[in-house]
């Protein structure tokens, strides 16, 4: 994996902890393996093949995990979860492990960690923090390739309703409130009304 500001070893460890919490009936070894390999092919957010990164990661899992002592069935289960976890791919996982991995990865995009991660990626890609005249994208289409804060409106504030496990749903609600509080504080500092959308 090529780490970046939002996809490093600490991200993998956090996703592993939450995958276990979101799938308490699954074997912890499978949950940890899925979390540690879910971003093994990590393409930059602005890469043209970004939507295929999880497919490429799943292929790597299938070829490598049996060499590390996983059974073919376990490798397939982990690969399926890795393939379907990605927001960019738009899939809804059909297995408990897949649902848990997707929820765990999405949780790491929310809350205080989510604010740090989106800022890190925005800086890495050279995006402006916000549009100078319309920071909440109220009179323009949100453009998170140009403005970091727009990612709240194109993705982050839309995640809350997509969680599939009880643990993920509860934590997502809490973390989304944290992000809304951040935006309210930002609005106060900008001396404008807080965003109405999202």
Instruction: Let me know whether 85 and 116 are in one domain.
Output: no
**Cα separation of 84 and 47, whole Å?**
19
| Residue range of the domain that includes 175 | 110-190
Which pLDDT does position 88 carry in this prediction?
A: 67
Question: pLDDT per position in the chain (198 positions), as tens?
Answer: 566 666 778 889 999 999 999 999 989 999 999 998 888 777 666 666 666 677 777 788 788 888 888 899 998 989 898 888 776 667 789 899 999 999 999 999 999 999 999 999 899 889 999 999 999 999 999 999 999 999 999 999 999 999 999 999 999 999 999 999 999 999 999 999 999 865
**Cα separation of 71 and 61, whole Å?**
12
**Domain closes at, from 53, 68, 97:** 97
| 161 Cβ contact list (under 8 Å, min separation 6) | none
Instruction: Let me know whether 13 and 91 are in one domain.
Output: yes
Q: Which of 12, 38, 172, 25 is nearest to 106 (CA)?
A: 172
Determine phi and psi for 29, rounding to 5 degrees: -60, -40
Angle at 2 between CA 105 and CA 7, to 5 degrees: 25
Provide the phi-psi class of 69: left if phi over 0, else alpha when psi is between -120 and 50, else beta: left
Which pLDDT does position 198 carry in this prediction?
A: 56
Considering the entire predicted model, what is its pTM? 0.87
| 171 Cβ contact list (under 8 Å, min separation 6) | 18, 107
Which pLDDT does position 116 carry in this prediction?
A: 94
For residue 12, the number of C-alpha atoms closer than 13 Å in the C-beta half-sphere is: 19
Give a yes or no: residue 104 inside a domain: no
Instruction: Let me know whether 93 and 121 are in one domain.
Output: no
Instruction: Let me know whether 16 and 70 are in one domain.
Output: yes
Instruction: Let me know whether 93 and 115 are in one domain.
Output: no
Which pLDDT does position 87 carry in this prediction?
A: 65
Residue 155 carries which DSSP code? T
Give a yes or no: residue 158 inside a domain: yes
Quickly tell me which residue has 């996703």 as its tokens.
Answer: 15
User: Can you give the CATH number for the domain in which 146 is found?
Assistant: 1.10.3210.50
Which pLDDT does position 4 carry in this prediction?
A: 61
Which pLDDT does position 56 carry in this prediction?
A: 77
Which pLDDT does position 52 carry in this prediction?
A: 66
Which pLDDT does position 125 carry in this prediction?
A: 86
| 183 Cβ contact list (under 8 Å, min separation 6) | 152, 194, 195
Which pLDDT does position 104 carry in this prediction?
A: 96
């Amino acid at each position: 994996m090529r780490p970046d500001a939002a996809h490093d070893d600490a991200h993998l460890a956090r996703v592993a902890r939450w995958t276990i919490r979101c799938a308490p009936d699954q074997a912890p070894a499978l949950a940890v393996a899925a979390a540690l390999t879910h971003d093994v092919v990590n393409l930059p957010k602005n890469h043209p093949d970004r939507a295929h990164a999880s497919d490429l990661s799943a292929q790597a899992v299938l070829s490598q995990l049996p060499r590390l002592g996983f059974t073919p069935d376990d490798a397939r289960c982990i690969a399926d979860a890795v393939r379907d976890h990605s927001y960019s791919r738009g899939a809804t996982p059909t297995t408990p492990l897949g649902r848990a991995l997707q929820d765990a990865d999405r949780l790491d995009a929310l809350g205080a960690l989510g604010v740090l991660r989106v800022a890190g990626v925005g800086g890495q890609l050279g995006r402006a923090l916000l549009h100078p005249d319309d920071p909440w994208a109220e009179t323009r289409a949100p453009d998170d390739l140009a403005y970091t804060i727009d990612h709240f409106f194109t993705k982050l504030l839309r995640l809350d309703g997509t969680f599939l496990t009880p643990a993920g749903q509860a934590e997502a609600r809490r973390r989304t409130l944290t992000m809304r509080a951040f935006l309210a504080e930002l609005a106060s500092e900008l001396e404008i009304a807080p965003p109405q959308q999202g």
